[in-house]
Amino acid sequence: MNRWVYLFSEGSKEQKDLLGGKGANLAEMTKLGLPVPTGFTVTTEACLYYLNHGNHLTDEMKDQVMAAVEQLSVKTGKRFGDVTNPLLVSVRSGSKFSMPGMMDTVLNLGLNDQTVAALAENSQNERFAYDCYRRLLQMFGNVVMGMDNNDFEHRITALKKINGLSFDNELTADHWKQIVSEYKEIYRKKLQREFPQNPIEQLYLAIEAVFGSWNNQRAKTYRRLHDISDDLGTAVNIQEMVFGNFGESSGTGVVFSRNPSLGDPGLFGEYLINAQGEDVVAGVRTPKPIQVLADELPKQYSQLKEICEDLEKHYHDMQDVEFTIEREKLFILQTRSGKRTSKAALTILLDLHKEGIIDEKELVRRIEAKDLEAALHPNFDEQELKNHESFLSGLAASPGAATGAAYFTAEAATEAKARGERVVLVREETSPEDIEGIAVSEAVITSRGGMTSHAAVVARGMGICSVVGCERLTVLEENKAVVGDKVIEEGAILSVDGTSGRVYFGEIPMEEVTNTVALDELHVIWDRHAAIKVRANAETPNDIETGMALGAVGIGLARTEHMFFERSRLLQFRQLILADSLEERLDVLKDLKEVQKQDFKFMYEAAQGKSTTIRLLDPPLHEFLSKGTEECREVAKELGKTFNEVKRKTDNLAEVNPMLGFRGLRLGVAYPEIYQMQAEAIIEAACEVTLEKGYPIAPEIMIPFTIDAEEFARVRTSIEGAIQKSLSARKQVLEYQIGTMIEIPRACFVADEIAKHADFFSFGTNDLTQMALGLSRDDSPRIINQYMEAGIFADDPFQVLDVAGVGALMKLAIERGRQVNPQLKIGICGEAAAHPKSIAFLNDLSIDYISCSPFRIPQAKMTLAQTAVKDQKQVG
């Protein structure tokens, strides 16, 4: 016999695969003794069997469902279909991963023409009973039989209009009775059959509909967008109904145990008095903030609060809880880990840790790269914002800032995105059908709905900024909306601030956020776990400051040739390489030394005394030579030389393959005075900052492109001579180191020889990859893409370290280098260093640091710390 059905009392939270997330958590809460309405789960395996075997419930499944219904009868004292004391149930989907709004729910199942009368009698509330019945007809018609919900809703709107009423709760029992018979008529006309009066038939059809909904279009789209496998199936949860629409001491709501937008502690959510679940999420009535419940139903509020706190402790995470209060009795209908914004995610994890709910390793393990990324993303520039007046405001549902063109349907938004536009989706409210449109949008604005409405929840989950419930906004037709006397035409540019809930016309510039309080705390924690330090590749004071703010322990690579890209500097550099004699060159170098000294002083100050590795010039010459006749003419004019002189020299210096030409140390050997000048500038700047600022600067001078130990040794001797001259002229003592980049395969093989002369190694894996693979770092993307598409390469070796080739060379160099000098400091500063996949490999090498561009530092630190605590999961 196959087991297709489990009572809530039989399962646990570990069984998400079999019972789905909702079912497993309902079982867990039942086990914890929380007030969960009794029920049972039909498994995901039953769903898969159903979908793969002709879409019908087997007799075995039906028998097990009926046996479980019998158990519900025993527990509740009510019977399914009984005309005096009827049992009513809800039927809800629930897959392993939560897919909010993607799947279907039917409430009040078990009602028919007889049982509705019993419900009216038992509850002494006829209005309530017929409201429940019409809801069943409507949901059953829509979800199970695929009818259009508007066909039903229009009847209510028409009835309210005829009677001059505004709200559903003003409709009387007789109104609902009338609606019930109209609904039955619609049902009959549309489907050519009667609404099934037999509750068992209702139940089987509803279970089949939930199983079938696994394959509806919006569920498929959601799975595609969230990388959820199609092979999981959904479970079905059948649960005794509890009624939030029983009157003024009943209600229903959704709460988060912490603010899912900002992460603040304390309950956050909404509820409606005298309503059923779908009223809250549908955004039809505007719900009240949960704190108001503390006044309206104080006892239930504190019970709810306590339960949420207990659930957080039990699950070690922020929870999203659905509840219903029936005549003052609180029931919990669902709990799950709450979706949250990136900002909230970091704040919540840090708070959970501070409150002792998760340990430090769990905190490190659970931070997601996307949340970290978002913490580093731009917001609107504060100053700029002051010059703009918002024309629309609403609830700040999902923070962040975005600008795009307004579109009013998901289709129009998708098309505009395909044309390359940035899009803001503007809707009255969103529904799961809009999911594709939301996914392509930079921001979502709605005129209706609260903080837990579909638009708010989905946008937050996707990290898309969103403002909902903008009451002054009226979406008029497919290509227009109005706000008072202002018109939003299709394509109008809007700037949306999801943090303040304000919307502006036109584009507002963004500001770069370089750090947050949460990041500061995280850096301290990551540093405690990571085995390898992270430095910044940076040379401008601005980049250095960003690097430091983002957690760098120093500078791992300052490329001095980058200091010559600016026009006036470029000219000086050209003067240097076009000089005809040593005298002329020395003349230029004298000026350049002063300029470089200033550069280095700024750098040391920006790094505030932290380790600073400055790389001597490594200019691929073609980047600095004038390009054509016209440019040669201009350069000649600017340098006071003749055109012919400049042209001849430029032609002489031109290389067929400049990337393998006159680079790095080759320059140092041919023109020792250039490196000498740089070394003097580095040392003299360090001397001055040490005196002026009071923190000792111990520069690390890095020589690029070394091929050979003798080559390196000669240049070292040459620059050390210059350094010593500088120091003795100043009568100052200064610590410094001279090391090399390892970026040529030969250097890896002769690393033991080089290590005799070098104080440190830094792997330049950009060049090392280029040379190890024989693929140009500049021209190869096409080849690499082809190789990745063909499945020859799994990754781009310039982005993810090629462990088999380049990694092997690194291992060899480390081994040989440390044979000679066990203390040899070793780093890596190529682009691939910061990639999480590279870090998995680098973490096992005995290197001291990786160096990467400033904005990649936090993620690199995070990954290093996560790699260190990977297998040490929190227990409990």
Residues that bind ligand PEP (CB under 6 A): 557, 559, 618, 743, 764-767, 829-830
Least separation in angstroms between CB 543 and Mg ion: 18
Residues 590-649 touching Mg ion, rule: CB under 5 A, are none
Active site residue 454: yes
Question: Contact region for Mg ion (CB under 5 A) — 54-62, 414-422, 763-771, 806-814?
Answer: 763-771
Least separation in angstroms between CB 697 and ligand PEP: 23
CA-to-CA separations, 642 to 572, 632, 858, in angstroms, rounded: 17, 9, 51
Question: Contact region for Mg ion (CB under 5 A) — 71-79, 230-238, 756-764, 866-874?
Answer: 756-764
Q: Does 148 belong to an annotated binding site?
A: no
Whole-number CA gyration radius for the chain: 34
For the record, the structure tokens of 137 come out as 């007809």
Least separation in angstroms between CB 767 and Mg ion: 4
Q: Does 766 belong to an annotated binding site?
A: yes
Q: Which is nearer to ligand PEP, 307 or 544 (CB)?
A: 544
Question: Contact region for Mg ion (CB under 5 A) — 239-247, 738-746, 805-813, 854-862?
Answer: 738-746
Question: Contact region for Mg ion (CB under 5 A) — 584-592, 599-607, 743-751, 797-805?
Answer: 743-751
Binding mask 302-341 for Mg ion (x = CB under 5 A): ----------------------------------------
User: CB under 5 to 8 A by kind: which of Mg ion, ligand PEP, none does 732 bind?
Assistant: none
Q: Does 381 belong to an annotated binding site?
A: no
Catalogue the E-assigned strands of 327-472: 329-337, 379-380, 392-393, 395-398, 401-407, 423-427, 443-446, 465-468
Q: Which is nearer to Mg ion, 317 or 743 (CB)?
A: 743
Q: Which is nearer to Mg ion, 205 or 847 (CB)?
A: 847
Q: Which of 465, 687, 829, 852 is catalytic?
A: 829
Give the separation between CA 214 and CA 223, rounded to whole angstroms: 10
> Position of tokens 């949340």?
371
CB 287 within 8 A of CB 280: yes
Least separation in angstroms between CB 557 and ligand PEP: 6
CB 839 within 8 A of CB 863: yes
Q: 660: closest CA among 573, 805, 770, 748?
A: 770
For strand 251-258 and strand 319-326, is the pairing parallel, antiparallel, or unpaired? Answer: antiparallel
Q: Which is nearer to ligand PEP, 385 or 772 (CB)?
A: 772
Least separation in angstroms between CB 623 and ligand PEP: 11
Catalogue the E-assigned strands of 603-707: 611-615, 700-703
Residue 526 one-letter amino acid: W
Q: Which of 353, 454, 523, 529 is catalytic?
A: 454
Site membership for Mg ion, residue 743 (CB under 5 A): yes
Q: Which is nearer to ligand PEP, 292 or 803 (CB)?
A: 803
Q: Which is nearer to ligand PEP, 425 or 532 (CB)?
A: 532
For strand 493-497 and strand 486-489, is the pairing parallel, antiparallel, or unpaired? Answer: unpaired
Out of 39, 244, 469, 764, name the contact with Mg ion by CB under 5 A: 764
| Phi, psi (deg, nearest 5) at residue 263 | 95, 0
User: CB under 5 to 8 A by kind: which of ligand PEP, Mg ion, none does 829 bind?
Assistant: ligand PEP
Q: Is 849 helix (H, G, I), strand (E, B) or coil?
A: strand
Question: Contact region for Mg ion (CB under 5 A) — 299-307, 406-414, 495-503, 765-773?
Answer: 765-773
- Longest pairwise C-alpha distance within the chain: 111
Q: Which is nearer to ligand PEP, 439 or 741 (CB)?
A: 741
Q: Does 765 belong to an annotated binding site?
A: yes
User: CB under 5 to 8 A by kind: which of Mg ion, ligand PEP, none does 559 bind?
Assistant: ligand PEP
Q: Which is nearer to Mg ion, 585 or 835 (CB)?
A: 835
Give the separation between CA 21 and CA 207, rounded to whole angstroms: 17
First to last CA, the chain: 34
Give the separation between CA 618 and CA 357, rounded to whole angstroms: 52
Least separation in angstroms between CB 665 and ligand PEP: 13
Active site residue 748: no
Q: Does 764 belong to an annotated binding site?
A: yes
Give the separation between CA 763 and CA 841, rounded to whole angstroms: 14
Q: 609: closest CA among 565, 670, 548?
A: 548
Least separation in angstroms between CB 778 and Mg ion: 12
Least separation in angstroms between CB 787 and ligand PEP: 21
Q: Which is nearer to ligand PEP, 700 or 767 (CB)?
A: 767
Give the separation between CA 663 and CA 666, rounded to whole angstroms: 6
Give the separation between CA 687 and CA 756, rounded to whole angstroms: 27
For the record, the structure tokens of 638 come out as 């600017």
Q: Does 663 belong to an annotated binding site?
A: no
Q: Is 177 helix (H, G, I), strand (E, B) or coil?
A: helix
Least separation in angstroms between CB 528 and Mg ion: 32
Q: Count CA within 13 A, CB hemisphere, residue 25.
A: 22
Out of 326, 767, 802, 831, name the contact with Mg ion by CB under 5 A: 767
Q: How many residues bind Mg ion (CB under 5 A)?
A: 3
Give the separation between CA 726 and CA 595, rounded to whole angstroms: 17
Binding mask 428-457 for Mg ion (x = CB under 5 A): ------------------------------
User: CB under 5 to 8 A by kind: which of Mg ion, ligand PEP, none does 277 bind?
Assistant: none
Q: 447: closest CA among 560, 335, 268, 283?
A: 283
For strand 89-95 and strand 105-109, is the pairing parallel, antiparallel, or unpaired? Answer: antiparallel
Q: Does 14 belong to an annotated binding site?
A: no
- The secondary element (H helix, E strand) that includes residue 320 is strand 319-326
Question: Contact region for Mg ion (CB under 5 A) — 556-564, 736-744, 840-848, 862-870?
Answer: 736-744
Tell me the DSSP string of 456-473.
HHHHHHHT-EEEE--TTE
Residue 690 one-letter amino acid: T
User: CB under 5 to 8 A by kind: which of Mg ion, ligand PEP, none does 765 bind?
Assistant: ligand PEP
CA-to-CA separations, 97 to 233, 355, 368, 826, in angstroms, rounded: 10, 27, 17, 44
Least separation in angstroms between CB 497 and ligand PEP: 38
Give the separation between CA 43 and CA 26, rounded to whole angstroms: 13
Q: Which is nearer to ligand PEP, 632 or 801 (CB)?
A: 801
User: CB under 5 to 8 A by kind: which of ligand PEP, Mg ion, none does 830 bind?
Assistant: ligand PEP
User: CB under 5 to 8 A by kind: which of ligand PEP, Mg ion, none does 539 bind?
Assistant: none
Question: Contact region for Mg ion (CB under 5 A) — 2-10, 86-94, 557-565, 739-747?
Answer: 739-747
Active-site positions read: 454, 829
Which amino acids are annotated as binding site, given as ranges?
559, 615, 743, 764-767
User: Which residues of the chain form contacts with Mg ion (CB under 5 A)?
Assistant: 743, 764, 767
Which amino acids are annotated as binding site for Mg(2+), given as ranges?
743, 767
Which amino acids are annotated as binding site for substrate, given as ranges?
559, 615, 743, 764-767
